[in-house]
Structure 1
Amino acid sequence: MSVLGGPVGGHYDVAVIGGGISGVQIARHAAGRGLRTVLLERNDFGAGTSAATTKAIHGGLRYLEQYDFRVVAESVSERRYLGLAAPHLVQPRSFLLTAYDWSAPRAPVLGAGVALYEAMAWRRNAGVPKDIRSPRFRWIGKKALLTQVPWLSPDGLTGAWRHDDTLNIHPERLLLAILKSYVADGGTALNHAEVTGLLRDDAGAVRGVRVNGHRDIAATVTVNAAGPWVASALGDLATTAGVRVRQAKGVHLVTRDLGNRDGVFVRGRNGRHIVVNPWQGKTLVGPTDTPMSGSADEAATEVEDINLLRETLDSVSATPLVREDVESTIVGVRPLIDDGSDTYTSSRRFEIRDHAPTGLPGLYSVTGGKWTTGRAMGQKVTDTLIRAHRGSLPPTRDFDSRHLDLSTSFGDYDTVTAAFEAAAARVPSADLPRDTRIHLARLYGTEHEAVLRLVVEDPRLATPVPGSSDILAQAVYAVTHEAAETLQDVLDRRMTVGTLGLVRETAARLVAATVAPLLGWEAERRDAEVAGYLGLQAAETAVLDEAFAPGSSR
């Protein structure tokens, strides 16, 4: 268990279970209102659903087809707020909404939907740095589209509507930046801290949590925001609380660069939508969005998931995907409100449930929601708690996060480029090339200077990590300043090397050797961490090999 923020102890106003984007935003807003808050994550911050994305902060254009106007209206506003708060990590991305003569809705209807979508986002460029503002939507004809997206099949293609959404460049780093803003407001966050029970008083009210089986943390209000683990976090009380959540498994393929510079929304001939999104020299293809039962801990990419994505993409591609195209996969489980629809069309709204009517006052559960609307959800949950417990919580202050920079954001620059140029000149004694400096500035914001100073103190930490733009100083910083405890914490959620596909064994061993002394690992533990990490990759590779094997069922 590691701690960010103040020491753990005493009585808290709010305890939040879950260190994904939902829990982090709830904790941030509770602390922002002046409430003494602690956040507890059973694994690592952002280790679950929050990292398994298409790398998009989107307004929910697809939800217009389901007439979910409320979610779309909220999403386009929240997309802008997040871009204002962290323009170094959130930037516009053009998307192409393809139209076919065999697919409904047809191009004119799609165009009307895009026009409505843009009208709902009419303030999208207000206050945004000049170099990352979004242009107006427009129609791309078939000939031009095939030039821009070389893998598309021309069969039945009529063109595409181009519109802008937002790219979540590094969701793991963005979540950490929001978490650090929470800590800067006085919050405390613990990872590898599993809630194993709830504390109850003589009247049955929930008065805090038990962590890792032995440590009690008292709190006036407990919020369960554990995502797909929202029921398991309550243990035997889940049935009493009536907590039920539908699980949707989302699998993405990470492929070589397929050639398109804009994201592409396509509807396959099987009726399913996918996004083909260029990112960091790779292309993300997905998600599957299929129902899942059982524990989210067991979520893994299966042959059926890969084949569903291949079937969808190949039906609109000039040439089918082959094994050499696909480097790795990403899998996550999303918690959805059980509204009776299938997981593909289920609402992305969130739900706040007060468990007082079921005999558990002081306990709330939050289900549903998504990355884009996390800020609004955090605000609404906190407002709900304060209204309901005004008599037992201390006086609160105003906190409007809509126009607040994150604590590590660069501040007032006319352009993001200007911010990066200024950052590249910091700590000139650190012997690093300009591209590495820009890379660090994007990942860490204002904290990049602390990483640079590590290089000044020990020039060996300027050593590049194979297969990425990362350097060893980031591994050190992950342990000393960002509560990383395992090799996977470091590679997958503090650095970028683990997010880009399969990590080379040389890179894994180099990083493990760097952090081992800081974490007190002997050679046996160090080697076990490397073996465990490489073993997960080997299992993933085996599934891909099976899916693409000759004779594999499609």
Structure 2
Amino acid sequence: MTPPPAALPSPSGARDFGALDTPFDVIVIGGGISGVQIARHSAGRGLRTLLLERDDYGSGTSSATTKAIHGGLRYLEQYEFGVVQESVTERRNLGIAAPHLVAPQRFLLTAWDWSKPPAPVLGAGVALYEAMAWRRNMGVPKDVRAQRFRWVGKNALLRRVPWLDPAGLRGAWAHDDSLSVHPERLLLSLVRSAADLGAVAFNHAEVVGLVTDPGPADAATGGSARTAATARVTGARILDRLTGREHVARSRVVINAAGPWVDRALGDLAEQSGIRVRQAKGVHLIMGSLGQTDALYARGKNGSHFVVNPWQGRSLVGPTDTAMDGDADSAETTADDIEYLLETINSVSSRRFTADDVESTLVGVRPLVDDGKPTYRASRRFDIHDHSERGLPGAYSVTGGKWTTGRAMAAQVVERIVRSEPSLPPTRDFDSRTLPVAGAFGDYGSVEAAFESALLRRPDVQLPRAVRLHLARMYGTEHERILDLVAADPALGRRVSDRPDRLDIAAQARYAVAAEDAWTLRDVVDRRLALGTLGTVTESELRAVTAVIAEPLGWSDADADAQVGEYLEAQRRIQEVIAAVRAAGG
């Protein structure tokens, strides 16, 4: 991602790949949370770093989340104490680094007479969980500090979550985790952070193969005896998916963090690498508000855990956790997924939820360490694979991991690479633990004070208070760039939707294509604005966005129509599945 210029010019139809002419120290493949954090840490250590993403930043697994930054309480049941300790530490770090995008959220761990483990054991687990997070409030703004856990009795719980089945209900253990308010925006701020540290980043840039050079044995024969067993990986072949042109980037090291696509990124070297990753499909239902402000974590009578997380006036219900074979690109919500989640929540509900309550769905594929366990019980730790052990020196792959621990994972990966690769230049120290992400507000003592200060910026710009707060929440200090655009052209202050809970304005769409590497309608609607994350988007809303971005992107009317049609078709497929469940009585 290129830093925003002083005046925002219209981007041209072709991107400048001239930066690839100079060799890099590290190429990172994958623009999800793992790859972005690795690129940020690599650049922070002073290494010349290139980040490549086949589609758009966060367009895969990293955007299909429960909107939670959490310590992984349920991993205690699997004795993953190391993962939990790291998670609660990183939860605090993210809250300090990005307080405008990571907010405290109360979770209710619910227990019935039939629950396993029973309520006292659950309480012991929560106590251990909080003991492991004893530093959780150190350095945290005063108005977002975590509260101590406590027991909530049955009657009080039913007042907070009125739809719960009261039969056999004991109560719940209330504890604090964190809400990821806009994970897409948080990921973009980390991409910007990497760029500010010197990294070069391209989205819609697919690695179609790795570049190898002959090893010492081959060099003696002039390369005529080159074999895979002696070839060193020295770069990547890149397809610019926007233009169809191919490019080559050279580097000392290639780190493959492509998530469920980790084998594809290795191209014809995948088999030799021996890389194995298990895929788990996770589906969430987007439902209207279920009338609660606290998140709920429960186990259905079918044995499956689920979360109901209130977010942006909606409730996210899920996720599923089912093994998946084949190409991760083919992952989609099925009727079985919707029916299973409805069955799970209905098993502990006093009312029957149906497909009529489902507005849309999210689907993502998690890459898990292949430890032989079912995907639900598979470890959320990460593994670093050094492919020199299979005759591919210079190449590494990272599998596993999760959103919350992405920073810690990146620090360990880069440290491993630095120690293992003598060809890399000397590096500097880089402590990213609580380093503010790009756009984070300074030290105001409280998050509320930071937002109140934001409301005073550019008083000449006439925007409603709710819209101003929306911009400050999504962009942090960079929201002033949006205000600058509206000051220069007041027409850009218009909302792109007539619906009262959609607060995005036209200036955000203009900023997305001018300064945030947005190249498609989906890039803008789903990952730069809030609009596409809130459920189904209407054609009129899509047209309002294309009216702003078509000219700077060089689109013809036919191009704009194609983008809108593709978006609507993807939505139609989801709605067809929901309708099928509804027709079947689900």
**TM-score normalised to structure 2 length:** 0.93
- Deviation at residue 320 of structure 1 after TM alignment: 1.2
Pick aligned residue for 2:505 from 442, 461, 471: 471
CA contact (8 A) 1:11 1:217 kept: yes
- Name the counterpart of 2:323: 291
| Secondary structure at the counterpart of residue 401 of structure 1 | coil
- Deviation at residue 324 of structure 1 after TM alignment: 2.6
- Name the counterpart of 2:219: none
- Deviation at residue 29 of structure 1 after TM alignment: 0.4
- Name the counterpart of 2:242: none
- Name the counterpart of 1:267: 299
Aligned ranges 1:531-550 → 2 under 5 Å: 531-550=565-584
Whether 1:414 aligns to 2:445 is yes
Pick aligned residue for 2:533 from 492, 499, 506: 499
Cα distance in 1, alignment partners of residues 267 and 36 from structure 2: 22
Cα distance in 2, alignment partners of residues 293 and 435 from structure 1: 44
- Name the counterpart of 1:326: 358
Pick aligned residue for 2:428 from 397, 407, 415: 397
- Deviation at residue 156 of structure 1 after TM alignment: 1.4
- Name the counterpart of 1:91: 103
**CA deviation map 1:418-441 (0-9, x unaligned):** 001111111122111111111111
Cα distance in 2, alignment partners of residues 481 and 38 from structure 1: 18
* Cα root mean square deviation, aligned: 1.2
- Name the counterpart of 1:431: 462
CA contact (8 A) 1:221 1:363 kept: yes
Q: Which amino acid aligns with 2:99?
A: P
Q: Which amino acid aligns with 2:191?
A: L
Pick aligned residue for 1:308 from 340, 345, 349: 340
CA contact (8 A) 1:40 1:191 kept: yes
Q: Which amino acid aligns with 2:335?
A: V
Pick aligned residue for 1:52 from 52, 56, 64: 64
CA contact (8 A) 2:356 2:582 kept: no
**TM-score normalised to structure 1 length:** 0.98
CA contact (8 A) 1:4 1:188 kept: no
CA contact (8 A) 2:208 2:237 kept: yes
Aligned ranges 1:364-403 → 2 under 5 Å: 364-389=396-421, 391-403=422-434
- Deviation at residue 32 of structure 1 after TM alignment: 0.1
Cα distance in 1, alignment partners of residues 547 and 485 from structure 2: 17
Regions of 4+ moved over 3 Å: 1-8
- Name the counterpart of 1:190: 202
CA contact (8 A) 1:196 1:233 kept: yes
- Name the counterpart of 2:162: 150
Q: Which amino acid aligns with 2:458?
A: V
Aligned ranges 1:73-92 → 2 under 5 Å: 73-92=85-104
CA contact (8 A) 2:496 2:504 kept: yes
| Secondary structure at the counterpart of residue 513 of structure 2 | helix
- Deviation at residue 394 of structure 1 after TM alignment: 1.1
Cα distance in 2, alignment partners of residues 37 and 6 from structure 1: 14
Cα distance in 2, alignment partners of residues 497 and 272 from structure 1: 31
- Name the counterpart of 2:225: none
Pick aligned residue for 1:10 from 22, 30, 50: 22
Q: Which amino acid aligns with 1:352?
A: I
- Deviation at residue 5 of structure 1 after TM alignment: 11
Aligned ranges 1:201-280 → 2 under 5 Å: 201-203=213-215, 204-212=231-239, 214-280=246-312
- Deviation at residue 247 of structure 1 after TM alignment: 0.2
**CA deviation map 1:177-207 (0-9, x unaligned):** 1111110001110000000010100121000
- Name the counterpart of 1:37: 49
**CA deviation map 1:305-356 (0-9, x unaligned):** 0011011000001111123311000000000000000000100000000000
| Secondary structure at the counterpart of residue 309 of structure 1 | helix
**CA deviation map 1:153-177 (0-9, x unaligned):** 1111100000000101100000001
- Deviation at residue 548 of structure 1 after TM alignment: 2.0
| Secondary structure at the counterpart of residue 205 of structure 2 | coil
Aligned ranges 1:59-138 → 2 under 5 Å: 59-138=71-150
Aligned ranges 1:472-491 → 2 under 5 Å: 472-491=506-525
- Deviation at residue 7 of structure 1 after TM alignment: 3.6
CA contact (8 A) 1:58 1:372 kept: yes
CA contact (8 A) 2:110 2:296 kept: yes
- Deviation at residue 214 of structure 1 after TM alignment: 2.1
Structure 1 gap ranges (5+): none
Q: Which amino acid aligns with 1:324?
A: D
CA contact (8 A) 1:225 1:367 kept: yes
Q: Which amino acid aligns with 2:288?
A: R
| Secondary structure at the counterpart of residue 431 of structure 1 | coil
- Name the counterpart of 2:480: 449
Residues matched between the structures, number = 551
Cα distance in 2, alignment partners of residues 525 and 320 from structure 1: 44
- Name the counterpart of 1:179: 191
Structure 2 gap ranges (5+): 1-12, 216-230, 240-244
| Secondary structure at the counterpart of residue 276 of structure 2 | coil
Change (3 A) 1:34 1:446: same
- Deviation at residue 236 of structure 1 after TM alignment: 1.5
- Name the counterpart of 2:552: 518
| Secondary structure at the counterpart of residue 231 of structure 1 | helix
**CA deviation map 1:13-32 (0-9, x unaligned):** 00000000000000000000
Q: Which is further off, 504-513 or 521-530?
A: 504-513
Cα distance in 2, alignment partners of residues 21 and 333 from structure 1: 13
